[in-house]
A and B are shown apart, each in its own frame.
Chain A
Amino acid sequence: MKFSYFWLKDLINFKQSPDKLANLLTLFFAETNISFVNKRPILEVDLLPNRFVDGSSHLGLAREIGAILNKKFNYPQIKVKEGKEDIKDYLIVNNKSKNCRLYTSRVIFNVEVKPSPKWVQERLIDCGLRPINNVVDATNYIMLLTGQPLHVFDFDKVSSNKLNKKEIIIRQAQDNETITTLDNKTYNLTKNVLLICDSNKPLAIAGIKGGVSAEVTPQTRRIIIESANFDPYNIRQTSRAINLRTDASVRFEHDIPFELTFYALELVSNLIQELAGGEILKGVIATRKEKLKKIGFKISESECQKFLGINISLKEIKNKLDLLGFQIKKEKKKEKSIFITTPFIRNDLKIKEDIIGEIGRLIGFNNIKPQRIIAELKIPEKNDIWDFTNKLTDWMKTFGFTEVKNYSLISLKDKNYYSNQDKIIDLSNPLSENFSSIRADLLIGLFHNIELNYRFFDEVKIFEIGNVYNWENDKIKENILLSSVWAQKKNNKEEELYYCAKGIIETLFNVLNIQEKDYEIQKIKNGYRIVLIKNKDKEIGRLFYLDDETKKNFSLEGSIVAFTFNVLMLKLITGKIQYRELPLYPPVLRDISLVIDKKTSIGEIIKNIKGVSSLLESLELFDVYEGKNIPNNKKSLSFHLIFRSSSKTLSSKEVDEEITKIITILQQLGAEIR
């Protein structure tokens, strides 16, 4: 919000340059920058929502500046010079809606509507408003000064009742009622909109914008001034519904105090008389007289010290609160406490902590001396999920993969890739079709990443760990996934890459101490899935290579393998490190090569070898060969075999016996030993 530097200077004398002042306000009130209008400095204050009511006025800001500079600023009090004629003989106000909490009014006769003097015009322009005429300008001027939005009607354009009095009716609009506002726009209204009317037409959208029907023009001689107080929620709803935000509506949204409504009416009447002449009728029409009860608080020195962590005396507390316009009602010297009431303009102070906070603010948050926390020394509870995801991230990095973070929102087009679209969570207000649903897995994002990075790299090895969401029986289900893709643009042998990725998964399982007995592998299209043995429907993860159709869908080429794990599921089967005693006796190494039918799976062969020899400690496949010198439908396999006994050194003869067993079982499988 814009404030005139010179206006503030007129209100409370200070020596600070605009820059200096802006800096002080930033530190003690709200972020402030400087701009200029015709070389006149303007303070642009980024008002905080809780300080809008008092802060959106030059008087309020003057008090803040005064408090910062240790100068007390009081709101000026004036007395209106009234004429003899009584307002009650000319005007009645009929409030029919609870959305109008207070309506006050004065009437002035014989005004001369003309342009405002230069000083008024300049201040309006400085604050971003357009001068119109002296009467309208006066209402805007007082709004900028006090924060209370005001309005004037042409007395003679308002219809009269049977008693020949002008009648202002405050009521809710009827559905489909229309109003044309001062800027010549017509609005279609609903019941929720509050209107200021006379007996046959709407005059203004309450608290938001005036209408043309009772507009003040150069011909206007008599005026009705409105200073009112409307329900903030209703103003906010209306403003949103008809998509019209004005200086007035924004202020009303922040809940203006009744005192301000009465106060501003007096100031504006006085100013109009000063600028446009005329007689102010005797009296004020007000729909209610009572002001709200002031809230009082007891504040003690010790409470301030405990909350802020500073040494502050009651004297200083009193001084700060006085500068901010608090009234100190009582003081208890013994217990070092005071009883205070808040300034009427401050509707943000609701609890004791708010007030202690104000003391801290005025001391300067910057000036509070830092202090170490004194607390029990204890080891915080472990977060296993956090630790585990970090461990996975580190291992993936070790395996040469680069971590990515994709958007959690996916496009409408991507949503179509999911087979079960019912489960996808949509946004009701997406930014665009490109980000309209919440991702239910991580792979689609990674596939897009491959396409992007193929422009600069032939190989893409990336992974992501992140949260994904889907509907599950009308509830939101969260999963944490680890997904990874490995793509080689110029490699057309998917199976090579597939076995490399499988090696990574096996290594990962190894470092996580995952035991074979805890999971089961099931074949799927282009790969396998890993399920929990305990519960065969629960998928832990899967590994597969991309088929041509998927590659086409995502404009990809080359060989691409992908794997994905449910992090919590994976965590469930990880084991602890367990030391096994080092072997006492030496191993015996033998190699074996065989030629066997291509269709016999290697897993089957290994299972048989392991099953037949109790002295076999481990085996390793070191060569797989198909082609020259091997029949078409056969493959050649070579294994290192390691034998060891835990109770003695094996003799050559004992190992020979084991080999014989293995050869026998392999021959039964149709293998030819070489």
Chain B
Amino acid sequence: MMDLEEIKNSAQKEWENIDSLESLEQWRIKFLSRKSELSQFFNNLKNTPLKERKEKGKKANEIRAFLNEIYQQKKNKLLDNSYSQKEIDITRPGVKIEIGHLHPLTLITRDLVKTFEKLGFEIVLGEEIETEYYNFDALRIPENHPARDMWDTFWIKSKGKNPVYTDEQKSKLLLRTHTSPMQIHYMETHKPPFRIIVPGRCFRFEATDPHHDFQFHQIEGLVVDNNINLANFKQLINEVLNEIFEQNIIVRFRPSYFPFVTPGLEVDIKLNNEWLEVMGAGMVHPDLFKKVGYSQNKYQGFAFGLGIERIAMVKYNINDIRLFFNSDLRFLKQFS
């Protein structure tokens, strides 16, 4: 019967020469299995006088722990060696997976819509061709009023007979200059309370440059109930902007004017120490409620229009608005 110290020494000596998983397994059987001398030592421990038993048992346990540890150590090392023998060059580039890309405006619009959906907003869609009535008159922008100058308009060339609409809508056709006509369309068929957003494409008759394009996208918002106030608008917009930009955005509210709201507001955000206009807004003008047949003095609400291109440009650091519509894959492939 070997002495404990001898077991340890011979095991360690043999261990040092092991160079394969097979010989390591043999070593394990010899020194750590149930048939090993160490196991037998434990088996015989009960025959040892009580006085020695405690001390020897402790020592044997220490040796067993030690052998287990060097066993694992060697095993890991041998496994590592065997993997590297498969000759994988971990520095070689992987095989390319071809993927498609979503348009940056789609990404931003979805972000915004998702945020509003979480807040219980309904999504409403409108047509890009509108009548003068819905785009202007119903929104308190009469012909020959200086306020019309705020919206340079593409007009549709009428075809043969003019299209016939219902009396109120018997007006010229145009490419909508904003998504606001949907405020009237929606309210004509729905009663408060409601919260809606209208994402959509709009057009302005203006020359293009890096900051302006004749085509752009907006998200219109309209919230009406009997108690919706200006402080509610501020809270909502703060939350939405923080969510979109994934940080605490510094927001500024200042006076503005749109005939279909009173008072009118402009919302700016501060980025890189500069104020950027991101939306126009205000409390819905009571004339609109009257126009769609709501009972008077019953409802209050706010409306806002958010420029999607502007948000995308800020978020992705894009410096030319025309890139959105040039369909250059070198640009588009940067977004997923």
Within 8 A of B (CB), among A271-325: 306-310
Chain B interface: which size bin? 35 or more
B333 closest partner in A (C-beta): A402
Option from B110, B155, B332 in Cβ contact (under 8 Å) with A402: B332
Q: What is the distance, in angstroms, from B229's C-beta to the closest C-beta of chain A?
A: 3
A396 closest partner in B (C-beta): B100
Check: A535 CB closer than 8 A to any chain B CB.
Answer: no
Check: A634 CB closer than 8 A to any chain B CB.
Answer: no
In the complex, chain A residues whose CB is within 8 Å of the CB of B125: 383, 385-386
Task: Assess the A408–B201 pair: CB atoms within 8 A.
Answer: yes
In the complex, chain A residues whose CB is within 8 Å of the CB of B106: 393, 403, 405
Check: A203 CB closer than 8 A to any chain B CB.
Answer: no
Task: Assess the A428–B327 pair: CB atoms within 8 A.
Answer: no
Q: Given the complex of chains A and B, what is the CA–CA distance between A377 and B195 in angstroms?
A: 11
Name which of A27-35, A206-214, A577-585 contacts chain B.
Answer: A27-35
Task: Assess the B161–A52 pair: CB atoms within 8 A.
Answer: no
Asked whether A429 and B155 contact (CB < 8 A) given A376-B193, A408-B128, the answer is yes
- Given A428-B157, A452-B327, 17 more A-B residue pairs with CB atoms under 8 Å apart are A30-B255, A31-B254, A50-B147, A353-B286, A368-B230, A381-B122, A399-B100, A407-B215, A408-B128, A426-B157, A431-B207, A462-B329, A467-B128, A469-B128, A471-B159, A476-B127, A476-B156
In the complex, chain B residues whose CB is within 8 Å of the CB of A31: 254, 266
Q: How many residues of A contact B (CB 8 A)?
A: 90
**Interface residues in chain A, defined as those with a beta carbon under 8 Å from any beta carbon in chain B:** 26-31, 48-52, 232-233, 236-237, 253-254, 306-310, 351, 353-354, 357-358, 360-361, 365-366, 368-381, 383, 385-386, 390, 393, 396-409, 425-431, 435, 438, 445, 448-449, 452-453, 456-457, 460-462, 467, 469, 471, 474-476, 478
In the complex, chain A residues whose CB is within 8 Å of the CB of B252: 27, 366
Question: Which secondary structure characterizes the binding site on chain A?
Answer: mixed
Name which of B25-33, B47-55, B76-84, B231-239 contacts chain A.
Answer: B231-239
In the complex, chain A residues whose CB is within 8 Å of the CB of B110: 390
Task: Assess the A402–B101 pair: CB atoms within 8 A.
Answer: yes
Q: What is the distance, in angstroms, from A395's C-beta to the closest C-beta of chain B?
A: 9
Asked whether A50 and B193 contact (CB < 8 A) given A357-B263, A369-B231, A452-B328, the answer is no
Q: What is the distance, in angstroms, from B212's C-beta to the closest C-beta of chain A?
A: 12
Check: B115 CB closer than 8 A to any chain A CB.
Answer: no
Option from B128, B157, B229 in Cβ contact (under 8 Å) with A309: B229
Query: Which 7 A-B pairs give the minimum distances between C-beta atoms?
Result: A309-B231, A357-B263, A309-B229, A370-B235, A380-B122, A371-B231, A397-B100
Q: What is the distance, in angstroms, from A414's C-beta to the closest C-beta of chain B?
A: 14
Check: B5 CB closer than 8 A to any chain A CB.
Answer: no
Q: What is the distance, in angstroms, from A263's C-beta to the closest C-beta of chain B?
A: 22
In the complex, chain B residues whose CB is within 8 Å of the CB of A232: 146
Q: What is the distance, in angstroms, from A42's C-beta to the closest C-beta of chain B?
A: 21
Task: Assess the A52–B146 pair: CB atoms within 8 A.
Answer: yes
Name which of B15-23, B60-68, B87-95, B220-228 contacts chain A.
Answer: B220-228
Within 8 A of A (CB), among B169-212: 173, 175, 193, 195, 201, 203, 205, 207
B217 closest partner in A (C-beta): A405
In the complex, chain B residues whose CB is within 8 Å of the CB of A429: 154-155, 205
A387 closest partner in B (C-beta): B123
Check: B120 CB closer than 8 A to any chain A CB.
Answer: yes
Q: What is the distance, in angstroms, from B332's C-beta to the closest C-beta of chain A?
A: 5
Task: Assess the B255–A365 pair: CB atoms within 8 A.
Answer: yes
Q: What is the distance, in angstroms, from B267's C-beta to the closest C-beta of chain A?
A: 9
Q: Given the complex of chains A and B, what is the CA–CA distance between A27 and B326 in angstroms?
A: 37
Q: Given the complex of chains A and B, what is the CA–CA distance between A478 and B266 in angstroms?
A: 33
Q: Given the complex of chains A and B, what is the CA–CA distance between A365 and B223 in angstroms?
A: 19
Task: Assess the A400–B99 pair: CB atoms within 8 A.
Answer: yes
In the complex, chain B residues whose CB is within 8 Å of the CB of A401: 100
Q: Given the complex of chains A and B, what is the CA–CA distance between A469 and B157 in angstroms?
A: 13
Check: B13 CB closer than 8 A to any chain A CB.
Answer: no
Q: What is the distance, in angstroms, from A316's C-beta to the closest C-beta of chain B?
A: 16
Q: Given the complex of chains A and B, what is the CA–CA distance between A67 and B27 in angstroms?
A: 94
Task: Assess the A453–B329 pair: CB atoms within 8 A.
Answer: yes
Check: B283 CB closer than 8 A to any chain A CB.
Answer: yes
Task: Assess the B100–A404 pair: CB atoms within 8 A.
Answer: no
Q: What is the distance, in angstroms, from B298's C-beta to the closest C-beta of chain A?
A: 12
In the complex, chain A residues whose CB is within 8 Å of the CB of B123: 380, 383, 386
Write 29 A-B pairs (CB below 8 A) sorted by A numbering. A49-B147, A236-B146, A253-B146, A307-B300, A309-B229, A353-B285, A354-B262, A370-B231, A373-B223, A373-B236, A380-B117, A383-B122, A386-B123, A390-B110, A397-B99, A397-B102, A403-B100, A408-B201, A425-B129, A426-B157, A427-B154, A431-B207, A445-B327, A449-B327, A452-B326, A460-B329, A469-B129, A474-B161, A476-B156
In the complex, chain A residues whose CB is within 8 Å of the CB of B99: 397, 400
A368 closest partner in B (C-beta): B231
Task: Assess the B283–A357 pair: CB atoms within 8 A.
Answer: yes
Option from B98, B155, B225 in Cβ contact (under 8 Å) with A427: B155
Q: Given the complex of chains A and B, what is the CA–CA distance between A556 and B223 in angstroms?
A: 50
Task: Assess the B227–A306 pair: CB atoms within 8 A.
Answer: yes
Task: Assess the A425–B256 pair: CB atoms within 8 A.
Answer: no
Q: What is the distance, in angstroms, from A107's C-beta to the closest C-beta of chain B?
A: 33
In the complex, chain B residues whose CB is within 8 Å of the CB of A353: 262-263, 283, 285-286
B102, B127, B255, B325 — most chain A CB neighbours (10 Å): B255
In the complex, chain A residues whose CB is within 8 Å of the CB of B225: 373, 375
Task: Assess the A405–B150 pair: CB atoms within 8 A.
Answer: no
Check: B324 CB closer than 8 A to any chain A CB.
Answer: yes
Asked whether A371 and B235 contact (CB < 8 A) given A426-B157, A452-B326, the answer is yes
Within 8 A of A (CB), among B307-336: 324-330, 332-333
A30 closest partner in B (C-beta): B255
A361 closest partner in B (C-beta): B255
A427 closest partner in B (C-beta): B154
Asked whether A405 and B229 contact (CB < 8 A) given A399-B100, A452-B326, A453-B328, the answer is no
Check: B265 CB closer than 8 A to any chain A CB.
Answer: yes
Q: Given the complex of chains A and B, what is the CA–CA distance between A354 and B129 in angstroms?
A: 31
In the complex, chain A residues whose CB is within 8 Å of the CB of B71: none
In the complex, chain A residues whose CB is within 8 Å of the CB of B121: 380
Asked whether A308 and B333 contact (CB < 8 A) given A26-B254, A386-B125, A452-B326, the answer is no
Option from A365, A403, A426 in Cβ contact (under 8 Å) with B103: A403
Task: Assess the A375–B193 pair: CB atoms within 8 A.
Answer: yes
Option from A51, A368, A403, A430 in Cβ contact (under 8 Å) with B154: A430
Q: Given the complex of chains A and B, what is the CA–CA distance between A253 and B259 in angstroms?
A: 16
Check: B257 CB closer than 8 A to any chain A CB.
Answer: yes
Q: What is the distance, in angstroms, from A622's C-beta to the closest C-beta of chain B?
A: 24
Task: Assess the B129–A406 pair: CB atoms within 8 A.
Answer: no
B173 closest partner in A (C-beta): A476
Q: Given the complex of chains A and B, what is the CA–CA distance between A237 and B329 in angstroms?
A: 47
Q: Given the complex of chains A and B, what is the CA–CA distance between A386 and B114 in angstroms?
A: 12
Asked whether A49 and B262 contact (CB < 8 A) given A309-B232, A385-B125, A398-B100, the answer is no
Q: Given the complex of chains A and B, what is the CA–CA distance between A51 and B263 in angstroms?
A: 12
Option from B163, B205, B325, B328 in Cβ contact (under 8 Å) with A407: B325
In the complex, chain A residues whose CB is within 8 Å of the CB of B255: 28-30, 48, 361, 365
In the complex, chain A residues whose CB is within 8 Å of the CB of B232: 309, 370-373
Task: Assess the A405–B103 pair: CB atoms within 8 A.
Answer: yes
In the complex, chain B residues whose CB is within 8 Å of the CB of A469: 128-129
A459 closest partner in B (C-beta): B98
Task: Assess the A27–B254 pair: CB atoms within 8 A.
Answer: yes
Q: Given the complex of chains A and B, what is the CA–CA distance between A429 and B329 in angstroms?
A: 31
Task: Assess the A254–B146 pair: CB atoms within 8 A.
Answer: yes
In the complex, chain A residues whose CB is within 8 Å of the CB of B286: 351, 353
In the complex, chain A residues whose CB is within 8 Å of the CB of B155: 427-429
In the complex, chain B residues whose CB is within 8 Å of the CB of A390: 110
Check: B271 CB closer than 8 A to any chain A CB.
Answer: no
Q: Given the complex of chains A and B, what is the CA–CA distance between A31 and B171 in angstroms?
A: 35
Check: B214 CB closer than 8 A to any chain A CB.
Answer: yes
Task: Assess the A475–B163 pair: CB atoms within 8 A.
Answer: yes
Task: Assess the A456–B329 pair: CB atoms within 8 A.
Answer: yes
B143 closest partner in A (C-beta): A233
